[in-house]
Chain A
């Protein structure tokens, strides 16, 4: 069944995603960077991203190897 556009939960979710997108799109450099995995770098150094982004990652092999390594340090964000 299609979601009721008047459902307050859906409205809230949509508003939240718009707010999230507005913030992310306003990060300096986010509009002129080539490629499609700008959220690399420190963003996912500890926890791999979802399947698509893991596959796209330029250091995919290393990241997968590190996943198997117990005791990997927390990322800087921790």
Chain B
């Protein structure tokens, strides 16, 4: 049965609010990304202490170092932070460090550090130079060449990395070039998501004509290009296979609906217990506490939690009552509901229409073809 006690699987820590890029679709407001600074040792140690003292650890914990751009906190900061993590958590849980970076700052020293700590590295880039046009620096100039220099260092050091792409209209129109780029990039894994409406950006895909048809074409092209036993694994296709491999009717429960499962702590110690995207804007409605003054468990006993939980559950009931994919989705798209509808008590979003409904329908249709049956 579903575990009846809270447990943290992924701890997302905002090492720094700073970003060296100004990507046009970023979910972190520009005002936040212009700030400077790095998380203090007091906030980091208070976070780790709470995890231990409140009995919130399982066998594994992924620590996702977050920013804006996490590497902007600097290598010396991470050397110290990783040591502090080890001093608190060694022997209590198995820690994996995860860095989702724009790649610009990756150099040989970073690569050696990643290798030493066994980090999982993800690089955000959206395909070819043209398809990555939204990824620009603060002067508005494309960051593509800088990112690819960082990718080159990872490849030179033989470090496996994940390519995480935001798919926009350009990539959907030319999946062949997207596939060629991914194959030549040197990545070991691909994750992709559509440009979605978030708390800081309204997606350009809203109102795009025949969007489902274009996304279906894109998804099916990628499915054929990246078979399960090929050199590049695709996160979304693994999820699809996992869902279709489950017993039909077994309800999926996404991390975004489980309190504390993905825990996010901001630079100043503020934390949120559902989607991390809720924390990094200017809206403080989803700050459930601060590690310097309160506990994670206590945040479950607050009126704020009751209100958010009630609204999220109402939204999940809408999904369950209206969407045939609820059993495989479980109302995953929580922050997107808020961004598009202003409330969690809503059902369909652009992101779920494409990433869940269209993707599953597109791949189900391929499975029905004689060659794949």
Chain A 31-57 residues near chain B, CB threshold 8 A: 33-51, 53
Partner of A16, one of B164, B191, B301: B301
Chain B 57-83 residues near chain A, CB threshold 8 A: 58-62, 64
Q: Is B305 an interface residue (CB 8 A)?
A: yes
List the 8 closest pairs (A to B, CB-CB), nearest first: A41-B252, A71-B160, A77-B255, A28-B320, A29-B251, A16-B297, A19-B300, A73-B235
Q: Is A3 an interface residue (CB 8 A)?
A: no
Complex Cα spacing A59 to B261, Å: 21
Q: Is B257 an interface residue (CB 8 A)?
A: yes
Whether B300 lies near A20 (C-beta < 8 A) is yes
Secondary structure at the A interface, as helix, strand, loop or mixed, is loop
Assuming the contacts A42-B239, A51-B59, asked whether A16 and B251 have C-beta atoms less than 8 A apart, the reply is no
Output the nearest chain B residue to A46 by Cβ-Cβ distance. Answer: B62
Assuming the contacts A48-B60, A50-B59, asked whether A78 and B98 have C-beta atoms less than 8 A apart, the reply is yes
Whether A73 lies near B164 (C-beta < 8 A) is yes
Whether A38 lies near B100 (C-beta < 8 A) is no
Sample (21) of A-B pairs whose CB atoms are under 8 Å apart? A12-B298, A13-B297, A15-B300, A16-B297, A16-B298, A20-B4, A28-B326, A30-B251, A38-B253, A39-B3, A40-B250, A40-B253, A43-B9, A43-B253, A45-B238, A47-B9, A70-B118, A70-B120, A71-B187, A73-B233, A74-B164
Assuming the contacts A75-B255, A77-B254, A78-B10, asked whether A59 and B4 have C-beta atoms less than 8 A apart, the reply is no
Q: How many residues of A contact B (CB 8 A)?
A: 49
Whether B246 lies near A24 (C-beta < 8 A) is no
Whether A74 lies near B300 (C-beta < 8 A) is no
Chain B 159-195 residues near chain A, CB threshold 8 A: 159-162, 164, 187-191, 193
Most A-side CB within 10 Å, residue of B190, B253, B254, B321: B253
Complex Cα spacing A13 to B5, Å: 10
Partner of B1, one of A22, A38, A43, A44: A38
Whether B9 lies near A44 (C-beta < 8 A) is yes
Whether B301 lies near A15 (C-beta < 8 A) is yes
Complex Cα spacing A37 to B253, Å: 10
Whether B316 lies near A77 (C-beta < 8 A) is no
Partner of A42, one of B2, B120, B300, B332: B332
Q: Is B338 an interface residue (CB 8 A)?
A: no
Whether B251 lies near A71 (C-beta < 8 A) is no
Q: Is A1 an interface residue (CB 8 A)?
A: no
- CB contacts (< 8 Å) of B239 on chain A: these are 42, 45, 76
Complex Cα spacing A71 to B99, Å: 10
